[in-house]
Amino acid sequence: MSRDDVHKVRAFEHPGQGRKRAKATPKGRQVDPVAAHEIETLLGDRPRRRDLLIEYLHLIQDKYHQISAAHLAALADEMKLSFAEVFETATFYAHFDIVKEGEADIAPLTVRVCDSLTCAMLGGEQLLKDLQNRAGPGIRVVRAPCVGRCDTAPAAEVGHNFVDHATVTNVLAAAKSGDTHVHLPPYVDYDAYVAGGGYRLLARLRSGELPREDLLKALDDASLRGLGGAGFPTGRKWRAVLGEPGPRLMAVNGDEGEPGTFKDRYYLETDPHRFLEGMLIGAHVVEAPEVYIYIRDEYPACRDILAREIAKLPPGGPTLHLRRGAGAYICGEESSLLESIEGKRGLPRHKPPYPFQVGLFGLPTLINNIETLWWVRDIVEKGADWWKSHGRNERHGLRSFSVSGRVKNPGVKLAPAGITLRELIDEFCGGMADGHTLQAYLPGGASGGILPASMDDIPLDFGTLEKYGCFIGSAAVVVLSQADDVRDAALNLMKFFEDESCGQCTPCRAGTEKAALLMQQPVWNKELLDQLSQAMRDASICGLGQAASNPLTSVIKYFPDGFRPQQAAE
């Protein structure tokens, strides 16, 4: 049969097909003209770069209080990306409220109630339920992971305004008054910081008066370590980045999401330029022409303060980019942080190569935590001996402890490294809260394990807790009393890790879910939980899955019979 004969047969079977081809129409999701205009107007003359995708999703969320499928499609078209790329990024982050076609719009005001450990201990769960029952139309009430205000628990967020020591009354009052904007605390601004000697160290370094090697030696001599949790020697990290061929970049990890941790927020909201000077010093040392500062979305006041104060810096130096997280704890992991800055889902990278070799945009990258950089000026100006003069129990230096829970005076406590839990409570926190007796404590946040009161004499520092199956991490101390159930505390933490797992690897994704289910049983299957914990530690890609079981294994080891809460004295 000839080709002409084939066409004749097809024309007979399907009248009209052989005579005239139907007009071609575009395949896939179509861009709504109204949505396209709105996105084009919203973006204005901003560059359409891939790494700015998350920033632009924030623009939509802030403007419309939600992100519709039509806006996603229009944004993808405007940025020359596939709809799938934009959709998978938007749905990865908890703070983007995606409305699918046919779904009802989200209420214009969202109230988030923290459900992490300290807030749960102090009534957060009941507060959530009461607000959901009484909020009324136009207000959506949802649970949220740790918002970094454990010292004023329970905490709620009304729009971008945080309500400390939250109650149904004060939260609804804020919602009904329209008080949903960011409130800035008093802080040391640029003029005050310069008047106090600020930026002189940076000027000496840039002019060559202070040799780069002398500055690095001061950090080495002080044994300053990364204070975000990993504890890697700072001077060694800077040297490693400098040893890689340029160009190089710098990224600042301000995604402080560990339940119980709020020290970085404290420093940014009180003395931001001390951090900025340390950051600019680091950028100069590694010769980074650009610095990306990544601040978690739960810290809007910190972002606003930094934006205001960065604008006051004199010209010269590296280009500074302020980037906004979007509600993903995993982005505190350094390689996930880089992925998020690049406008992608925050999935951890496999190592090696390490970020100091292949980091942001494929370039060698220096990554430091907020507090680590905050201490650079003091250590160099006052000397390593000053830093090392602090410390107890044969430990050296200072630590910023985020203390919350059943103590009289929670908050950030600047104390000697190596201080014990008992000393920390008695000397810096005014003792236990009235009517409460120490029963257990978390020495290092959600992933640092749980220890009984009988072990309150262990020095708190890097390397002192590992033999007990715990670690100090970012020095977030949560204090439990006889009013708290240690098994419920461990379950709360496991549910947090289950929700925050990025889902990339099976041991973490399935392990945290399975562990949470097993931990809800009246009697724990300790053998199975131990096996599950070991699999998570051995096979998870990043620290989230590797450390998620630490509270669980601590409870099995140190609280074999658990302890049930008793009524605290009034």
pLDDT in tens, 466-489: 999 999 999 999 999 999 999 999
Nearest to 249 by CA among 290, 279, 210: 290
The pLDDT tens digits of the residues spanning 486-537 come to: 999 999 999 999 999 999 999 999 999 999 999 999 999 999 999 999 999 9
Tokens (6 digits) for 189 = 């601004």
Contacts of residue 370, defined as CB under 8 A and 6 or more positions apart, other chains included, come to 228, 252, 253, 254, 256, 264, 267, 268, 275
The rounded distance, in Å, linking the Cα atoms of 560 and 446 is 20
The rounded distance, in Å, linking the Cα atoms of 298 and 293 is 15
Interhelix angle for 272-286 vs 234-242, to 10°?
40
Residues in the chain: 570
Structural Rg of the chain based on CA atoms: 26
Which uninterrupted H or E stretch holds 380?
helix 376-382
The rounded distance, in Å, linking the Cα atoms of 336 and 377 is 28
Residue 295 near residue 323 (C-beta atoms within 8 A): yes
Q: What mean pLDDT comes out for the span 65-88?
A: 96
**Distance in angstroms between the alpha carbons of the first and the last residue of the chain:** 96
pLDDT (0 to 100) of residue 23: 52
Contacts of residue 294, defined as CB under 8 A and 6 or more positions apart, other chains included, come to 251, 252, 253, 254, 255, 323, 324, 325, 331, 337, 340, 341
Q: What average pLDDT does the structure give for the chain?
A: 93
Reported as a pLDDT band with limits 50, 70 and 90, residue 123 is very high
pTM: 0.93
Residue 483 near residue 406 (C-beta atoms within 8 A): yes
**3-class secondary-structure state, position 411:** strand
Work out the percent of the chain whose per-residue pLDDT is above 90.
Answer: 91
Residue 397 near residue 424 (C-beta atoms within 8 A): no
DSSP 432: B
Q: What mean pLDDT comes out for the span 159-184?
A: 94
Which uninterrupted H or E stretch holds 176?
helix 168-177
pLDDT (0 to 100) of residue 297: 97
The rounded distance, in Å, linking the Cα atoms of 555 and 553 is 5
pLDDT at 4 over 80: no
Paired residues of 476 in beta bridges = 402
Q: What mean pLDDT comes out for the span 172-197?
A: 95
pLDDT (0 to 100) of residue 21: 54
Tokens (6 digits) for 211 = 């040799």
Cis ω for the linkage preceding 108 (within 30 of 0): no
The rounded distance, in Å, linking the Cα atoms of 516 and 522 is 12
Q: What mean pLDDT comes out for the span 308-327?
A: 97
pLDDT at 151 over 50: yes
Hunting for tokens 């080709």 — which residue is that?
3
